[in-house]
Amino acid sequence: MSKRLISFDLDGTLMQNPFGAWVFPEIARVISGQLGREHDVVSEMVAEHEQRMSQKRYVEAYDWDDILVSRCDAWCIEKRVDIESLVRKHSVMPKVYLLEDGILQVLEEIKKLGFSLAVVTNGFYKFQAPVMKALGLLDYFDEIITPERAGTGKPDPAILQKLQGEVIAHVGDRLDHDIQLANRSHVTSILIERNLPEELLKLQPQMRANNHGMRLFCLEKLRRECKNPLLLELPELLMPRMVIRSMGELLSVLDEQAMG
């Protein structure tokens, strides 16, 4: 019998990685030191990342080493930063942390329901594994799919096809990556959003996606993700089928009827 899989995003869904608060600032300090002046290194790296994403170069978009080499070439300096080493250095609590208490217990309970668990992330394995290990996440997942291993990234449906088994649902925090991926793959798209307004919290997870207020909430969320405040419409492909406020809520919807 084929495995029944629930796949998860990592950053913003299960855990906080050290890039924003620790890794990028250290890269900026080293590079600014090499240049002999303060320079907005991170903004240039992120701009290069976004350009690659817009060109659907999903693997290259998350190859931070290659992005840094590209920027160093433009600045006419040598790349002297090993990003993987920085990630390992900073993969200690409280620099990295789980986004909710009890996440590991919830993952264990989901497995007891008969599901296999997988990670589908746009972060390279060498950047994600140290964080997952530090937080105790590694042992809970049967498969970890990353762009450099899959040859593509979210939201390309091909990345989900790398999983061995029937994907029942994908859980993530981004509309443009996770929800689009699930909808294009014809699996249940589950948005985890920990800052839902009170009127949406009153609704059952299965009912939230049909609420007009949820659609407006998602439109505003997509504007932030796309950095386009003038976006007027939420594409149906980016509308989640189910919305949860926590991993704990996920347990309540993982049954045959909800996943059907």
Omega before residue 94 within 30° of 0, cis: yes
CATH fold for domain 4-17+94-259? Rossmann fold (3.40.50)
Task: For 106-164, write each residue's pLDDT tens digit.
Answer: 999 999 999 999 999 999 999 999 999 999 999 999 999 999 999 999 999 999 999 99
d(CA 158, CA 173): 20
Q: What percent of the chain clears pLDDT 90, i.e. is strictly above it?
A: 92
Please give the average per-residue pLDDT across 56-60, as a whole number.
97
Residue 15, helix vs strand vs coil: strand
Task: Using DSSP bridges, classify how beta strands 242-244 and 188-192 pair: parallel, antiparallel or unpaired.
Answer: parallel
Burial of residue 4 (number of CB atoms within 10 Å: 0-12, 13-18, 19+): middle
What pLDDT shows up at residue 16? 98
Please say if the pLDDT value at position 258 is more than 50. Answer: no
User: Domain residues of the chain, as ranges?
Assistant: 4-17+94-259, 19-90
Beta bridge partners of 143: 118
Which residue in 206, 209, 207 sits closest to 217, CA to CA?
209
Say whether pTM exceeds 0.85. yes
Task: For 210-251, write each residue's pLDDT tens digit.
Answer: 999 999 999 999 999 988 888 889 999 999 999 999 999 998
d(CA 173, CA 74): 34
